[in-house]
Structure 1
Amino acid sequence: MVSAIFLLVILAALGVFMLSIYTTQRTVATQDVRGVLAYQAAKTGIEWATYQILTPENSLPAGSVFAGCAAGLTPPASNGALTGFAITVDCQMTVATEAGNTIRIYQLTSTGSAGAAGSSPSSDFVERRLRASVSTCRVGPLATDPVC
């Protein structure tokens, strides 16, 4: 009789231990997926800002610049898997002239995040940040030739 109670206690403890391992593994897997989605959100911000920089200059090379190059830019809202993720893009521009050519160098930092830092449960918050540089070059004072 005592051995049956002992065996029952051991099996119950083993069950509780296996349940805690399962819960931890599930939390880690969920956080991993959310990390990948935050990375994709940050990548979306970089691609959006690159489009904003390059497209206006390619279609109107003489006078167009990504005028919104500033901190805290927000791309249009995301749908699908990225719903609920906040995307912000910080942009800094440096202008240089080399042999009469105007060269603009854009430093982009995109952050994709979801949840609130310090929130409970601790697995709720996730954030990823990407950095990229984009440069454009226009030939001559009127910059009518898009090739350097």
Structure 2
Amino acid sequence: MGEVVTEQLHIEVKATVLQNARVKYACRNCDRTVVATPIVLAPMPAQPLPGSIATASTLAFALVHKYVDGTPLYRLAQTFERAGVPVSRGALGHWVIGSSERHLYRIYDALKLRLRSQDVIHGDETTVQVLKEEGKASTSTAYMWAYRSSEDSE
């Protein structure tokens, strides 16, 4: 009689630990002929933030949640905690800032150059409330500055 195929959407968010095994070599003959034996270690694969545990997919996850979904870092830290992966707000902040400084500076520089080449620049200083910022009351005020040119407004 045949079959009926029903499709369902399944999304699984799963954290895994990646291990990078690097080969380490030493010259055994060098012990007899050289005072210090040189040890050679294979280099690490290229990392988006060297010295960080965050992979490119981890950074993409955090940055999409922060900038596309508007999730504050303290809530993102709670999301990681619920998944059994404790990541501090400080680490998340370093990932966000490090990613911006290391990978987005070319876009920032191009936008700044274009903006500065305009005859007229519009600016806006908007006050914003920063949620749960350490050492500040939840009613403290911070500022966000936005700029645009009249030429690009159409």
TM-score normalized by the length of structure 1 = 0.21
Query: Which of structures 1 and 2 has the larger relative contact order (alpha carbons within 8 angstroms, sep 6+)?
Result: 1
Higher strand share: 1
